[in-house]
Chains A and B, each alone.
Chain A
């Protein structure tokens, strides 16, 4: 069992539905994006085009963040998901420096709510209060809480209107078939063996 994701860049339309779904599901604080879509312009007129690249933690098999974490706060589960135990994190930020994918966010202790001009948190924010600790690092958990409760899916892949994000067990024949279609990984030079693959446009 090795959970991961195949992202078909030919299908991604850059709508950021995955970004919003992740924020809704995990209630990440303002400024924290576990799942995001970077958009760049490629080519030149008249063949210029917009390239959208959805990103998330790559849940690497050879995760440098796990190796460099001084307190074992970052660890890898049996199913390949890389997690952060915020109670153990000392906030040294070495994992952020080590990660080649900019997948981690440090909580600087700023106001976490989206509408600070309103008095207090909204009910949704109140329900998730305490989930994020100031001075620690957070990142995509590949919806491990859902998986643990028996729902093997991620919010981002479920919300994707074009099925560009395909989540599953990378050892399964279906995922292997997708990977064989010419999928590549980000920064292969880092030898991190990511669990997130990209199918080219």
Chain B
């Protein structure tokens, strides 16, 4: 092998090595968390859900959005060619699988996980979400196999779109179902989750097929509209509590996540996309923004119940005492799942290339 060939081979292996290292770090962090309990996270009795749940939602949004676009391509092949669909599903299916792993990592008592499978409590949206995620993963794998064999068609396209929409709608309702949280329990939740899936899906689509830059821009504008509608409406109307909550999102405890979701998640990708710069970087920024959007949405909604119940003033300073910064263990577990998704993607892509 020539020096040049060896250098190329090394460069192509580098992402796989990075992904494998991240996945191993995530597994190590998870083992540490299992042995120590969730005390090694930054979660509290107020913030019972944090980074893992938020990134899970963002990963599912991106993957389900991309799978729905693949399904749509079965009817309108100009959206994605067969090769692009292969690449898209090679990304979507592992991402959904890794998101599922991330949410299992976030359980306090994963040893009892079998109870979730056997209980079939269909009034619980956690159960519905589990089966919907599993269904989406299975549909993703089957779709990928059909694409590899060249036997895809409209039927799997319809199933892929339906499974994608189903999982996102269930996740939206899962949050909206918590009626004591006014931030979550609104019609905006499901709409926001669906728009996030569109934005995430079109971000990845633009990274795969740059000719769809305008669709990605539309997704970013739609996401900006939803975020601004939610926050501005809360700021200028509603109760003292909702105004205080929105003030804490815009200028209080959750402001860092809010402004990252707007600037990194929307403004920068818009500038990059419109300016004809790297769409891969723009897509990556949009995905980070989606995770931050879910983070402030989850955190602010959680704090709301305690403040309302204990009659703590709705002023922003009440919320300012409730900071949440993910712990190293949470960050490592999350990076580990992202590494797992990347590793599986690289393996599947390599297998598809070899035929």
Contact = CB atoms under 8 A, between A and B. Distances in A.
A91 interface: yes
Nearest to A136: B109
A200 to B, nearest CB: 15
Given A106-B38, A134-B37, A87 B112 contact: yes
Given A70-B126, A102-B306, 14 more contacts: A40-B310, A68-B124, A70-B116, A70-B127, A71-B115, A88-B112, A89-B109, A89-B112, A91-B38, A98-B180, A106-B108, A135-B38, A135-B108, A187-B309
A90 B113 CA distance: 6
A91 B113 CA distance: 9
Minimum-distance CB pairs A-B, first 5: A109-B37, A91-B108, A135-B108, A100-B180, A135-B109
B330 interface: no
A68 B123 contact: yes
Nearest to B306: A102
Interface string A66-82: 01111111000000000
Contacts of B302: 97
Given A40-B311, A94-B126, A102-B305, A135 B37 contact: yes
Nearest to B126: A70
Nearest to A73: B115
Interface in A52-110: 64, 67-73, 87-94, 96-102, 105-110
B49 A97 contact: yes
B126 A91 contact: no
B121 A100 contact: no
The majority secondary structure among interface residues of chain B is loop
Contacts of B107: 90-92, 135
Contacts of A108: 37-39, 41, 43, 108
A110 B37 contact: yes
B259 interface: no
B130 interface: yes
B310 A67 contact: no
Given A97-B49, A102-B305, A108-B37, A90 B180 contact: no
Nearest to B37: A109
A105 to B, nearest CB: 6
A38 interface: yes
Among B126, B177, B181, the one with the most A-chain Cβ atoms within 10 Å of its Cβ is B126
Contacts of A105: 45
Nearest to A133: B109
B179 interface: yes
Contacts of B2: none
A71 B119 contact: yes
Nearest to A42: B311
B81 interface: no
B125 interface: yes
Nearest to A32: B45
B36 interface: yes
B37 A71 contact: no
B350 interface: no
B109 A90 contact: yes
